[in-house]
Chains A and B, each alone.
Chain A
């Protein structure tokens, strides 16, 4: 079997071969496809053109939280629960790459090894390869491949995250944020960060002291935040209605005074609403609370689908994918033989502070149009 990317092998033909086999259930071809996706080869691009329209059926579930909160153990417990119900599971588990050597230690499988002979469980570790959002730049594409190959549920497990690696929310239909008991007080909770993107908050290690207390603190805080959000929206809505009435009358008579021509607040309905996540307590090592978590995941999925319209998460995912490819393509276009010298000269001028970065981009865009 010839390797993809080797000169003389037609990427489109190789992609067709791998895609057909992978969709037909050949796990080796699936693994090979995922490698191509990770390495962003021409084979991967050709394969994704075919596979993307076949994806969209799986429930994509993001699992994120600080290092050591129990993400991998929770995924392992969820796999057990899902398999007991006959549902197939794919996992994309991301660990960080060394910024110095580019190497990575991928250890998430340690907790998920019980399914070696179960062909309806497919686990793939990925190195973040310098991507900073908590996932690898190719994780969403890898999830789409697993989706297209028919897995009912696909987990995207992030690297251990801090307060701002919220990218997973765009990559998943449902985002689960894990907290460990006694990790910070209510101020951490109102700072939001990760919590803000959570559809479900899980306090894991429920057998530790303080788990229930952490959960009720989070619940109280999340309810308070949501209530304030609702009250403010109501206020702005009413204010705008009054304003509109006033303007309507004023416009008929004379132009509004200059002082009133300020940027209006966005219409009440367009303001993003804080999510109101459920807060659950689990003990992943014993399976305690895992059934409830799965029920909550299914409920969230059903709510998302019941809307009928394209969900916000899916639109965000489409945006993230398209803009990333657009950025890649733009860079490639600026690096073609006829443009490279000019592009490099502009970059060097910015480095030497002879040119500001905005003017640099104006010129680069102009060179693309020209």
Chain B
């Protein structure tokens, strides 16, 4: 049938649902907020949970919200502790089909280990929102 409003078509495309969380104790949430807003403007449904999340909070939010993607923003240097704990909890909750990406200050040396722990994408300083959006669109599998 005729669809006059252009956004109707996009809405029936079932927007990807993304959780943006900041695990750990650093208080620098500007990046996470800018990304959350930027992904919204790219047409994603973004659940933003704010600062100081425990890995358990992240896993519970991912489960209850049934997200396609979990994005973790970490600037504290604690990523080698926090990220594997989140991915383990997600696996234990049966969420092994959720795409996990990490943003922040992540040294190249840690990348392999994070990937082995289940991280699909790592985004350092200078990454554009369009690049993140493109990666998520091509890598995440939207669920009905």
Chain A complexes with chain B: yes
B41-99 residues with Cβ-Cβ distance < 8 A to A are: 41-50, 53-54, 56-57, 59-61, 63-66, 93-95
Question: Which chain A positions have C-beta within 8 A of B94?
Answer: 28
Q: Contacts A35-B143, A101-B7 given: A110-B49 contact, CB under 8 Å?
A: yes
| Count class of interface residues, chain B | 35 or more
Q: Does B116 contact A (CB under 8 A)?
A: no
**What residue in chain B is nearest A30 (Cβ atoms)?**
B64
Question: Which chain B positions have C-beta within 8 A of A103?
Answer: 15, 39-46
Question: Which chain A positions have C-beta within 8 A of B14?
Answer: 39
Summarize B's interface: helix, strand, loop or mixed. Answer: mixed
Give 30 A-B contacts (CB < 8 Å), ordered by A residue.
A31-B63, A31-B64, A31-B65, A34-B66, A35-B143, A35-B144, A98-B40, A101-B42, A102-B7, A102-B15, A103-B39, A103-B40, A103-B43, A103-B44, A103-B45, A104-B15, A105-B48, A106-B45, A106-B47, A107-B48, A109-B50, A110-B49, A116-B57, A116-B60, A117-B60, A122-B64, A124-B65, A343-B1, A344-B1, A347-B2
Question: Which chain B positions have C-beta within 8 A of A124?
Answer: 64-65
Q: Does A16 contact B (CB under 8 A)?
A: no
Of the stretches A125-133, A187-195, A251-259, A296-304, the one at the interface is A125-133
**What residue in chain B is nearest A332 (Cβ atoms)?**
B1
Q: Determine the distance from Cα of A98 to Cα of B5 in the docked complex, in whole angstroms.
A: 13
Q: Determine the distance from Cα of A34 to Cα of B54 in the docked complex, in whole angstroms.
A: 25
Per-residue 0/1 for B119-144: is the Cβ within 8 Å of any A Cβ (1 yes, 0 no)? 00000000000000000000000011
The answer to whether B1 touches A3, judged by C-beta atoms less than 8 angstroms apart, is: no
Q: Does A123 contact B (CB under 8 A)?
A: yes
How distant is A274 from chain B, measured CB to nearest CB, in Å? 37
**What residue in chain B is nearest A130 (Cβ atoms)?**
B11
Binding site for B on A (CB under 8 A): 3-6, 27-28, 31-32, 34-36, 39, 41, 43, 97-107, 109-110, 113, 116-117, 122-125, 127, 129-130, 331, 334-335, 340, 343-344, 347-348
Per-residue 0/1 for B96-115: is the Cβ within 8 Å of any A Cβ (1 yes, 0 no)? 00000000000000000000
Q: Determine the distance from Cα of A5 to Cα of B143 in the docked complex, in whole angstroms.
A: 9
Can you list the 6 inter-chain pairs with the closest CB atoms, starting with the nearest?
A5-B144, A110-B50, A103-B40, A102-B10, A116-B57, A31-B66
Question: Which chain A positions have C-beta within 8 A of B40?
Answer: 98, 101, 103-105
How distant is A286 from chain B, measured CB to nearest CB, in Å? 20
Contact of A101 among B8, B10, B54 (CB under 8 A): B10
The answer to whether A130 touches B57, judged by C-beta atoms less than 8 angstroms apart, is: no
Contact of B144 among A41, A122, A125, A335 (CB under 8 A): A41
The answer to whether B47 touches A109, judged by C-beta atoms less than 8 angstroms apart, is: yes
Given contacts A104-B46, A106-B65, 20 further A-B pairs with CB under 8 A are: A3-B143, A4-B144, A27-B63, A28-B63, A28-B95, A31-B63, A32-B143, A41-B144, A98-B43, A102-B13, A103-B43, A103-B44, A103-B45, A104-B15, A104-B40, A109-B65, A113-B49, A123-B64, A344-B1, A347-B1
The answer to whether B65 touches A127, judged by C-beta atoms less than 8 angstroms apart, is: no
The answer to whether A32 touches B46, judged by C-beta atoms less than 8 angstroms apart, is: no
How distant is A361 from chain B, measured CB to nearest CB, in Å? 15
B1-37 residues with Cβ-Cβ distance < 8 A to A are: 1-2, 5, 7-8, 10-11, 13-15, 36-37
Question: Which chain A positions have C-beta within 8 A of B65?
Answer: 31, 106, 109, 124-125
Q: Determine the distance from Cα of A113 to Cα of B57 in the docked complex, in whole angstroms.
A: 7
The answer to whether A109 touches B45, judged by C-beta atoms less than 8 angstroms apart, is: no
Contact of B7 among A5, A35, A122, A130 (CB under 8 A): A130
Question: Which chain A positions have C-beta within 8 A of B53?
Answer: 113
Q: Contacts A36-B144, A113-B53 given: A105-B36 contact, CB under 8 Å?
A: yes
The answer to whether B144 touches A3, judged by C-beta atoms less than 8 angstroms apart, is: yes
Question: Which chain B positions have C-beta within 8 A of A344?
Answer: 1-2
How distant is B22 from chain A, measured CB to nearest CB, in Å? 11
